[in-house]
Structure 1
Amino acid sequence: MGITARGLFKTRTLFFLIAAFILMTACEPLETDPDDPGDDPTVPVAFQVYEIDIKVDGNAPVISKENEDYLSCSITVDGKGILDDYQGTGRIRGRGNSSWLWYDKKPYRIKLDEKQELLGLRGNSDWVLLANYRDPTDLMNVFGFEVADWLGLPFTNHTRFVEVTLNGSYIGLYQLTEQVEQGNNRVAVDGIDGLLLCLDVDDGPDYSPDAGDNFWSPVFQMPVCVKFPIELTADQLYGIRSDFARLENAVNSYNYDSVAALLDIPSFINYLIIQELVYNVEIDAPRSTFIHKDLGGKYTMGPVWDFDAGFDFDWGSMYTGHNFFNQQELVLGTDPANHRNGYRISNFFTQMFRNHQFVSEYKSRWNEVKDSIFDHAWEVMEEYEYTLRDAMARDFQKWPIDRSYTTEISRMKGWLSNRVSYLTTVIGNYPAGTVETVMVDCGTITCDVSMSYKTGYHQEATVNVDDSTLLSKLGITGEQLYSTDLVIVPLKTDGSAGINNTNGLFGGWFEGDNNPGFWSKGHVYIEIMDNRTAWNCGLRAGEGFCQVGDQHRVRMQYQYTKGTETRTVTVVVNFTVVPL
């Protein structure tokens, strides 16, 4: 039976009332995904290219990235009729480390005078314009963000691509994103008792000794900068350092339950998967490695940041080059716990691979995501590639490089696709991890070595450990000495294991207090390559470092593990610095 005129009127009236109700309720503020295009799939807001015009007062050039050198400016944002425009005032300065120092196309930090939503991104006063000059695809950071968000890492940044005009001059295509900081619309940890840390050598005590917001982590000697709380007393800094040491000690013990009580292990696994997927070597330094902790919560990895040092970047051309996607290399290696065939990253990131349950969960997570992790993210990258094409061409005219962005995007796709297959084999063959072992002290060997002050790094002298004595003490054969069951670790003065920051398979840079640490503060080093009983050594000469007559007593330890027993032999090396 058809609808009568009266029935049609009633239907239209009902439709009108429903529509009016929807419109009225739509006025209520809702927490939405800033990248969600809403009901209109033809308006993918995240993929559009917008415009920002910045005019510095007096047309002053932006020549510094220091906080005290912020310059007042006016800012106009063109939402292209898709998102709201913005006009306001604020301040601008440079930002970044290598990206600011090495490249002509500069990145910037913007601080609005009032908190404001920009291009659909939730309101705040602090914003970042990434130049992405090193990256010939303009997609490396956005790819990292997309994978992190898909894996479920919290507080992952969003992206809006913008073409920027500064003081009337077009300066290219930029990536507008959130500043990583504590805040309701940023890293939303508690405003009083929340914690945001960054493991970063540039912000750590070595390069920023007077900052008052950083420390060397007690166990793994990582540079840690406290990003929140912002205003710190010495007692607060000490308390944060002590609390982080609890986590480090748990990780160092690789006891799963102890670590799980303090660290969100799924976030840790997801974080490492991302770093290995894109071959991001920044965790070696480390740089830009954020960790947060909410009131009453656990340490959680993230947000992720800074991916243009990944994708097998050629560091030999780092000042001028854009050379990526060359080989399939590894950050964690084929045996992460023992740093085999990978970077010598801190044991903070690898020690848990000694635990069977952790390795099992890591492999399980990779098997869960491997079939989609690339395909999902690359579908998003293809959307960006399509909408960025014209803007990329204009950016290339402004900042010409020796690469074609279309070719490099194709190479990026091929490299990532191949990498998933490569990592599936590598991760599948990770050693299964072990149960905790009993340490059995099998004795000590002492070696006295004179090193030439004049020769410095390149000594003819070596540390020679007597083979027969060593094998007898450990109760092993010469073949077992070179097996994967044996490692050689640098020891701290308290007897705990330190870190290897040399280029050797094993070794250590020992600082003035004879503890293994970093090259920048190192006095003497031991570097073990192919020969496990004849070790290279050297010293750093000069004011504040080694002088003629100095003596250093340092220790390395052989550790041979079978089953639940680890036999150890400690080698005490007495270095004396002589003139020639």
Structure 2
Amino acid sequence: MFSRILPLFFSFLAVLSAAAQREVPRIDIKLADGITLSDLESSKKTWRRAQITIKAAGIGKNITDSAKVRGRGNTTWSMKKKPFRFKFDKKQSPFGLAKGKSWVLLANFLSDAQLNNAIAMRTAQLVGASHANHMIPVELYINGSYRGLYNLTEQVDLASNSVVVPDESKAALLEWDTYDGDPKRDSTYKLPVDLKAPEIEDYVTDYGKEAATLYQETLNSEIQKLTRAVLAERTAEVVDVPSLAAFYYVFDLTGNLELRHPKSVNVWRANIFDPQSKWVFGPVWDFDWAYGYEHTGAFATINPQFDLLDGKGPKGPGRNFFRHAMHGSQEVATAYNELAQRFAKQGGIDSLCKYIDEYAAWIAPAAERDFNRWWKGSPDYTSLAALMKAWLSERATYIAEHPIGYVPTGVRAVPAATRSEEAPIYTLDGRRLSPGATRPAGILLQGGRKIVGNRP
């Protein structure tokens, strides 16, 4: 299932060590028709015409092509250094990746966050997670203005450079996310389910209203079957077990609590009309708050010996679902425990640590320029890279030595929390306020929304 990823992955690894001694690639976005950077940043959802030039720095071919570009993200869009997505007019293969039109530029603007997503996606590749993204460091210029160090990566979608399926009219890519999902789609756990692809408006255009109605009715029914099967300890009947084991391991190793809400949980299926077609977990996404950040507001400082689903953290429906999915199936528990053993004892963690060293060395000059541009985070990731390696190594050992056990789910779901924990609060420059701290006067960010500080 995941063999499509491997040639690209190993090709990328082959140039990584050498790339660490070279410059970080550069992307220039030249907005069309007199559009300014302020215009682009004034609206997240408005597409703007542009010409995009990629100077690949020896990793694949240079590219110049017309495209459209707009903002993206939730909380991150409200910060000074903004994330973007763009869509080429025709499919391109930046840095030798699979050809596609849609790509993302991640800003990594939380303090010291330049390693986060790169480490997580490398882990996903190592464990064979479904359609794992690639994280290419790039320096971004818009209309000649330096915007800093970003990651270029694939837009998660049903597309030639992301989740590839035989027939998109029969497939579904879901995102479980408290920002956009609809809990009415799932009566078992109240998971906030959003149909990421295909878009229903496009489906109506391509196949007609009657076909779109049938598609939506079938999808809603299949979502209910999925969650009811997990509750009834029949996860392996409806879910691709290796994909679930790999997906969960990436979150577990990195200590990413987002799936407990859930947020940014992607699940796809090649054919919702075929009972033999199973749900596949992935691609993994969004590790800004991983590595203990949600506990302490810093990376790799919390004791790495903790259970992902127990203890302090979000108590949303995702927590209940994944507890049942991972512990309520002997097949899932066995697959997960075997993967954890292999990663800890057969070179997986060693490969990851080597990658961290090489990636930190590669981005070093660009990270310093990014720091000088924004005065945010750190100009040198050497110390954090060492801290991350030690933290991840200890966590890999802990997970391997504490295997998941089979625990029957019973006949009732654990009720979802009726009161959500208060979302963390940030200043406009991305600094997280300590819980209970006095809010400074001015505009602050909470849960992707602007609030007003109350200190006189």
State whether TM-score is above 0.5: yes
- Structure 1 residue 346: Cα displacement: 2.9
Letter in 1 for 2:187: P
Q: Give the alignment partner of residue 253 of structure 1, picking from 208, 232, 253.
A: 232
Three-state SS of the structure 1 residue aligned to 2:267 is: strand
Among 332, 344, 349, the alignment partner of 2:322 is: 349
User: Could you say which residue in structure 2 is the equivalent of 1:191?
Assistant: 168
Partner of residue 228, structure 1? 197
Cα distance change of structure 1 residues 499 and 171 upon mapping to structure 2, 3 Å threshold: same
3-state SS of the aligned residue for 1:49?
A: coil
Q: Is the CA contact (8 Å cut-off) linking 2:189 and 2:416 kept in structure 1?
A: no
| 1:51 corresponds to 2:26 | yes
Structure 1: which amino acid aligns with 2:224?
Answer: A
Contact 1:267–1:300, Cα closer than 8 Å, also in 2: yes
Aligned to 1:287: 263
Aligned twin of 2:367: 392
Letter in 2 for 1:79: A
| Bigger fraction of residues in strand | 1
Please list the CA deviations of residues 264-319 of structure 1 after superposition, one character each: whole Å capped at 9, or x if unmatched: 112111211111110101112211111111134210110111111101115675xx
TM-superposed deviation, 1:236: 2.6
Aligned to 1:170: 146
The residue number in structure 2 matching 1:378 is 353
Matched, 1:500 2:416: yes
Partner of 1:90: 67
Contact 2:305 2:395 in 1 (8 A): no
Matched, 1:306 2:282: no
Paired amino acid for 2:283: P
Give the match's secondary structure for 2:179: coil
**Offset of 1:89 from its aligned partner?**
1.4
Aligned match of 1:473: none
- For residue 152 of structure 1, the aligned residue among 100, 117, 128 is 128
Give, in whole Å, the separation in 2 of the partners of 1:37 and 1:402: 27
Q: Higher Cα Rg: structure 1 or 2?
A: 1
CA distance in 2, matches of 1:413, 1:53: 33
- TM-score of the superposition, structure 1-length normalised? 0.62
Q: Which of 360, 365, 389 is the aligned partner of 2:339?
A: 365
> Partner letter of residue 497 of structure 1?
A
**Partner Cα distance (2:15, 2:406) in 1:** 49
The Cα of 1:65 is off from its aligned counterpart by: 5.0
Q: Which residue of 2 aligns with 1:219?
A: 188
The two structures, once aligned, show a CA RMSD in angstroms of 2.9
Give the structure-2-normalised TM-score. 0.78
Change (3 A) 1:40 1:223: closer
- The superposition leaves residues 226-257 of structure 1 with CA deviations (integer Å, 9 ceiling, x where unpaired) of 11222254543232121011111110011xxx
Q: Distance in 2 between matches of 1:36 and 1:46?
A: 17
> Residue 244 of structure 1 corresponds to which residue in structure 2?
223
* Residue identity in the other structure for 1:144: A
Give matches, 1:391-410, under 5 Å: 391-403=366-378, 404-410=380-386
| Corresponding residue of 2:178 | 201
The 2-side partners of 1:340 and 1:76 are apart by 47
Q: Which runs of 5+ in 1 are unaligned?
A: 1-30, 207-214, 318-322, 440-495, 502-507, 510-517, 521-580
Instruction: Report the secondary structure of 2:224's partner residue.
Output: helix
Task: Rate the CA distance shift 1:248–1:234 in 2: closer, same or farther, 3 A.
Answer: same
Q: Which amino acid aligns with 2:226?
A: L
SS for the counterpart of 1:75 is strand
Deviation by residue 1:352-385 (Cα, 9 ceiling, x = unmatched): 4144454344323322222233211121122212
Q: Where do 5+ consecutive residues of structure 2 fail to align?
A: 1-5, 204-211, 423-456
| Residue 421 (1) aligns with residue 397 (2) | yes
Higher relative contact order (CA 8 A, sep 6+): 2
Q: CA deviation at 1:39?
A: 8.6
CA distance in 1, matches of 2:128, 2:293: 26
The answer to whether the Cα contact below 8 Å between 1:137 and 1:405 also exists between their aligned partners in 2 is: no
Shift of 1:203: 1.7
SS in 1 for 2:245: helix
The answer to whether the 8 A contact 2:171-2:270 is kept is yes
The answer to which structure has the higher helix fraction is: 2
Change (3 A) 1:125 1:357: closer
Q: Could you tell me how far 1:342 is from its partner in structure 2?
A: 6.6
